[in-house]
Amino acid sequence: MYTCNKDRLEDKIVTFSKFGDAGHGGITRYSLSPEAHQARDEFVKRMKAIGAEIESDDMANLYATIPGSEPDLKRIVMASHADSVTNGGNYDGILGVLTGMEVLETIVSENIPHRHPITVMIWTNEEGSLYPPAMMSSGVICNDYLPKEIAKKFKKEDMLASKSAQDPSVTFGDALNATPYKGNEKNRLSPDKYEAMFELHIEQGPILEDAGNEVGAVTCVLGMFNYRIKFYGQADHAGTTPMHKRQDALYAAAQALCYLHEEIDKLGRPELVYTTGEIVCHPNVHTVIPDFIDFSIDVRHEDADLRQKVLDIVKSLETREWARCKCKVEMAWARDTVYFNKELVEYVKGSADELNISNQYINSGAGHDAQFVSYMLPTTMIFVPSKDGHSHCEPEYTPVEQCTAGASVMLNAVLKKDKK
Ligand SMILES: [Zn+2]
């Protein structure tokens, strides 16, 4: 068994935390921004220093590859993203890149024999913070392999037209044309050239920390559905309309939301998660009774039967009036649970066991590029703990010992795959 170097990994974490440093412990590093270019320049510098070959594709995804002893074999790739949300932390995404670099550096410096070429890759625009949607590049690169409903949301021409959230006169395509990292379509991650993908990521939840485990072998990305629930009332004057005559769509929605929580909680499944995070209120004026409410519900669980039970509850809202208002339920989108490649999951689990690193199976409630890639290539993920479960915020933290444990697990899992 081989292990990665804690000090060398820590140096990378500290160095990369400067690119987009927001001044209070975290970063804002949008894809294709000057800060993102600094991070990419540093990546290229360090990877060239170990003799890696650098390539990029038409979405500016960036690849560094070291050769194996059998040049005709396909590559094994470790990939994650280097962009962040606004005021994000120093671990989400970038840790998967830095641990991938650390794995390559360990292989080269310790002369570890391996047959396949091994690559570390930076995905462009995973967060979609400036140019939506999230997981843009993997959606484009894996498009031919994705379920139709998902694929149509990631057509390359639509992605190129995505407008900057800061300046709508600038598109993602403009930013892509301006970056020195835009390369050739023939360099894309593809099943012709690549054998398998690993993505190390912070958990973004509290499960590993609560269980006292250092590493999670990720089995799947949870299936989910997203519905819109709409209420139709009557707008009237707030001062002149008696309470018993009102058709207040917001009051109706509030009642229905409480009902949803009560009924879903009766299913008694604490691992089921559901969220109403968005609400539209019309006319949204403090002197007018609202005549229209539209709120979201996002429901996630591995088991399709359980998701259907929740959906039945959601749909049942339509069958009655709420505070004299009509209700309509509409699907926004849904996706099935995406299971990772069993062989790779076992390489992760087995490597952690053999290294005596405490571990468990875990699923991912959040989306990652790996879930799109898994439609195209054998893929899996490795989670390391998130302190207090925090992510997408500046307090994001994973002790360097746990980062190194995750890197060592990825190194040995890659080497197990390499032997096959
Ligand atoms: Zn991420």
Residues 202 and 278 in one domain: no
Rounded Cα distance, 392 and 104, in Å: 27
Residues 101 and 231 in one domain: no
Residues 156 and 241 in one domain: no
Centroid of ligand 1 to alpha carbon of 117 (angstroms): 25
Centroid of ligand 1 to alpha carbon of 392 (angstroms): 8
pLDDT(353) > 90: yes
Q: What is the pLDDT of residues 43-85, one digit of tens each?
A: 999 999 999 999 999 999 999 999 999 999 999 999 999 999 9
Domain boundary among 290, 310, 335: 335
Centroid of ligand 1 to alpha carbon of 75 (angstroms): 23
Centroid of ligand 1 to alpha carbon of 133 (angstroms): 13
CATH number where 279 lies: 3.30.70.360
Q: Check: CB of residue 341 under 8 Å from CB of residue 380.
A: yes
Residues 161 and 49 in one domain: yes
When pLDDT is averaged across residues 296-314 and rounded to a whole number, the result is 97
Centroid of ligand 1 to alpha carbon of 108 (angstroms): 27
Residue 113 lies in a domain: yes
- Max CA-CA distance within the chain? 83
Rounded Cα distance, 417 and 196, in Å: 8
Centroid of ligand 1 to alpha carbon of 94 (angstroms): 8
Centroid of ligand 1 to alpha carbon of 250 (angstroms): 35
Centroid of ligand 1 to alpha carbon of 230 (angstroms): 32
pLDDT for the residue 243: 97
- Kindly write down the DSSP assignment for every residue of 334-354, as one continuous string: EE--EEPPHHHHHHHHHHHHH
Q: What is the pLDDT of residues 89-133, one digit of tens each?
A: 999 999 999 999 999 999 999 999 999 999 999 999 999 999 999
Centroid of ligand 1 to alpha carbon of 288 (angstroms): 42
Residues 312 and 198 in one domain: no
Centroid of ligand 1 to alpha carbon of 297 (angstroms): 22
Confidence of residue 209 (pLDDT cuts 50, 70, 90): very high
When pLDDT is averaged across residues 196-222 and rounded to a whole number, the result is 97
Domain boundary among 335, 360, 378: 335
Q: What is the pLDDT of residues 211-246, one digit of tens each?
A: 999 999 999 999 999 999 999 999 999 999 999 999
Centroid of ligand 1 to alpha carbon of 270 (angstroms): 25
User: Which of 67, 75, 76 lies closest to 113, judged by CA?
Assistant: 67
pLDDT for the residue 333: 87
Domain containing 386: what range? 6-222+337-419
Percent of the chain with pLDDT over 70: 100
Looking at the structure of the chain, the number of domains it has is 2
Centroid of ligand 1 to alpha carbon of 265 (angstroms): 29
Residue 1 lies in a domain: no
CATH number where 384 lies: 3.40.630.10
